[in-house]
A = this chain, B = another copy of it.
Amino acid sequence: MRARDGDDSVSVSGSALGYALLSLLTRGPATGYQLTQRMKSPIGHFWTAQHSQIYPELARLAAAGWVEAAEGDGPGPRQKKTYTLTPDGLAALREWLPRPPVVAPRSETVLKAYAANSADPAAMADLYGGIAARQRSLLDEWTREAAMLRDAGHDDPAHPGFGNYAVLLMGIESARSTAAWADWLVTCLRTGRAVGFGDPIPSGA
């Protein structure tokens, strides 16, 4: 499945996680621990991984020659390893990037809406009210973050931080849509009547 030593001819194919780690390493060398942190924001809103998945994957990437580890003394009993993207790794990433992505959406939030009228409308309204509130708070936070990045020039496609900015914008769009949809759902569930999407929310009536 992945290249072994002296097996250069085989087309080396990585998992999405592998490419995610390579992407993170384009931001500079890092330890597995730092990659775990770096994955949290902003890409974490669209791609997550635990350290228990990251460490073995880094070992595989190193075996494939896509990353290189510099060892040093760590705080614990083991060696601390700082990984760097190799030219081969960058080439692999560049080859993977323009390929059409695998679309595999999975949202428990929407799944629950699918069965919404099997449950108590008031309870479901509360659920989606909470979801809308959380999405709006994320929206606020990310909007402020995006403004800062824009001021720092990250909206320039040539800026190394452009990817972060792009992800943040998608996060904002996604939060906005979800909040608007959840608001509509809440209004439907609370009034018990058909409501047009985007119709004004009847306030305290």
Assess whether A103 is in contact with B109, with CB atoms less than 8 Å apart.
yes
> Is A157 positioned at the interface, with any CB of B under 8 Å from its CB?
yes
25 contacts between A and B (CB under 8 A): A16-B111, A23-B111, A46-B114, A48-B104, A93-B115, A93-B118, A97-B112, A97-B115, A97-B119, A98-B127, A99-B127, A100-B130, A101-B111, A103-B109, A105-B107, A117-B160, A117-B162, A155-B195, A155-B196, A157-B189, A157-B192, A158-B192, A162-B188, A169-B181, A176-B177
Assess whether A108 is in contact with B114, with CB atoms less than 8 Å apart.
no
Assess whether B114 is in contact with A163, with CB atoms less than 8 Å apart.
yes
Assembly CA distance A121 to B176 (angstroms): 28
A57: min CB distance to chain B, Å: 14
> Is A82 positioned at the interface, with any CB of B under 8 Å from its CB?
no
Interface core residue of A43, A97, A106 (most chain B CB under 10 Å):
A97
The closest CB in chain B to the CB of A44 belongs to B105
The closest CB in chain B to the CB of A172 belongs to B197
**Cβ-defined partner of A108 (8 Å) among B48, B101, B162:** B101
Residues of chain B within 8 A (CB-CB) of A109 are 101, 103
Assess whether A167 is in contact with B113, with CB atoms less than 8 Å apart.
yes
Enumerate chain A interface residues (CB-CB to B < 8 A): 16, 19-20, 22-23, 26, 43, 45-48, 90, 93-94, 97-121, 123-124, 126-127, 130-131, 150, 153, 155-160, 162-164, 166-167, 169-170, 173-174, 176-178, 180-181, 184-185, 188-189, 191-197
Assess whether A94 is in contact with B119, with CB atoms less than 8 Å apart.
yes
A188: min CB distance to chain B, Å: 5
Assess whether B105 is in contact with A46, with CB atoms less than 8 Å apart.
yes
Assess whether B23 is in contact with A117, with CB atoms less than 8 Å apart.
no
Assembly CA distance A197 to B150 (angstroms): 11
Assess whether A97 is in contact with B116, with CB atoms less than 8 Å apart.
yes
Assess whether A111 is in contact with B158, with CB atoms less than 8 Å apart.
no
Assembly CA distance A19 to B121 (angstroms): 18
